[in-house]
């Protein structure tokens, strides 16, 4: 084995855009699909087979387990594709995880409005995960295909991320104070889907002797959860594509970040106010990756994955740390 070949196996070959270039076999995709299926079946049939309130200790334990599983898959990426690919996996994972925090608070608002009992919330989020995985995968495949065929799309995505960063930095809690029942989505939902306000266990639909099959509030919330994920995917997927242009790495990192969101929801849903500066930190992350994409296209200069990951970690750490300090100062 030549020295050049050894280096390729260890670090991975880099493409012209500064991202790693790897050879993904069919069995890699089948392995990823098998892992996802197994984890979801264990979650549904074993851990959360019976409806129950997820407490803080359980949420912390599950969050640690999901993060650990993400790290274990990183070892698989390192074994198969090298250290450069692993760096992009970590960068994409952290990007998706941080940008998905807003999803958690939107979910909390929806559950509170529709008065979904806490013990049934996990089941709604479980089924919501299927749609999220499918939508994110489609966005990733489509986004990478577009950027490969039409290179200026990278510039467009960079500018869009800058615009999103501005909007996020200007948003506040009052912006999310709206009535979901009065939105166009719910009005259309009620016209198309016969519904009831009755909650009967974890059922998404119930059968009425006179009206037939009716959708419960759990199904209505599930629809809204899927729609909000589409909105957030429009922001997060371009950010992930700034870290990697490999479909396998982007999909895998998104999968493990999203799978852990349910546990993160039960951990963070009630402590939104404690992270006062997290929103600004997320806005800075979006601005950073947007500028990185624009500079990379205009100047043909690409920051290494390690430096990008370091900048993101520093920004998020400072925003969380500043929030904690502010809370202690006010208490």
pLDDT tens string, the chain, 331 residues long: the values are 443 334 344 445 554 556 788 899 999 999 999 999 998 888 877 777 777 777 778 888 888 999 999 999 999 999 999 988 998 898 889 888 877 776 776 777 777 777 788 888 888 888 887 777 777 777 777 776 666 666 676 677 677 677 767 776 766 544 444 455 555 666 677 777 777 777 877 788 888 777 788 888 888 888 888 777 776 666 677 777 778 888 899 899 988 988 888 887 777 765 655 667 777 877 787 787 778 777 776 776 666 666 776 777 788 788 878 877 877 787 6
- From the CA atom positions of the chain, what is the Rg in Å? 21
CA torsion through residues 105, 109, 115, 116, sign: negative
What are the residue ranges spanned by the domains of the chain?
3-117+125-191+219-330
Distance CA 199, CA 219 (A): 10
Distance CA 299, CA 295 (A): 5
pTM: 0.71
């Amino acid at each position: 084995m030549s020295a050049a070949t050894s280096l390729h196996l260890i670090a991975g070959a880099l493409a012209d855009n500064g991202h790693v270039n790897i050879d993904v076999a069919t069995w890699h995709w089948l392995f990823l699909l098998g892992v996802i299926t197994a984890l979801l079946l264990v979650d549904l049939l074993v851990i959360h087979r019976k409806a129950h309130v997820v407490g803080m200790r359980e949420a912390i334990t599950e969050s640690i387990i999901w993060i650990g599983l993400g790290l274990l898959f990183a070892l698989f990426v390192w074994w198969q594709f090298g250290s450069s690919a692993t760096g992009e996996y970590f960068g994409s994972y952290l990007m998706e995880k941080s940008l998905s925090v807003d999803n958690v608070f939107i979910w909390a608002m929806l559950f509170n409005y529709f008065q979904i009992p806490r013990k049934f919330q996990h089941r709604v989020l479980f089924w919501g995960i299927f749609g999220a995985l499918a939508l994110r995968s489609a966005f990733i495949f489509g986004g990478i295909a577009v950027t490969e065929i039409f290179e200026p799309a990278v510039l467009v995505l960079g500018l869009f991320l800058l615009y999103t960063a501005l909007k996020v930095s200007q948003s506040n809690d009052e912006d999310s104070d709206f009535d979901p029942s009065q939105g166009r989505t719910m009005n259309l939902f009620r016209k198309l889907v016969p519904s009831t306000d009755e909650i009967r266990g974890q059922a998404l639909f119930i059968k009425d002797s006179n009206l037939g099959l009716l959708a419960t509030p759990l199904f209505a919330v599930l629809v809204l959860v899927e729609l909000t994920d589409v909105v957030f995917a429009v922001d997060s997927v371009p950010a992930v594509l700034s870290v990697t242009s490999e479909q396998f790495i982007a999909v895998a990192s998104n999968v493990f970040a999203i799978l852990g969101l349910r546990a993160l929801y039960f951990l963070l849903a009630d402590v939104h106010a404690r992270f006062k500066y997290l929103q600004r930190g997320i806005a800075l992350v979006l601005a950073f990756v947007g500028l990185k994409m624009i500079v990379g296209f205009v100047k043909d200069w690409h920051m290494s994955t390690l430096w990008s990951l370091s900048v993101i970690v520093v920004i998020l750490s400072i925003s969380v740390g500043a929030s904690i300090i502010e809370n202690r100062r006010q208490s």
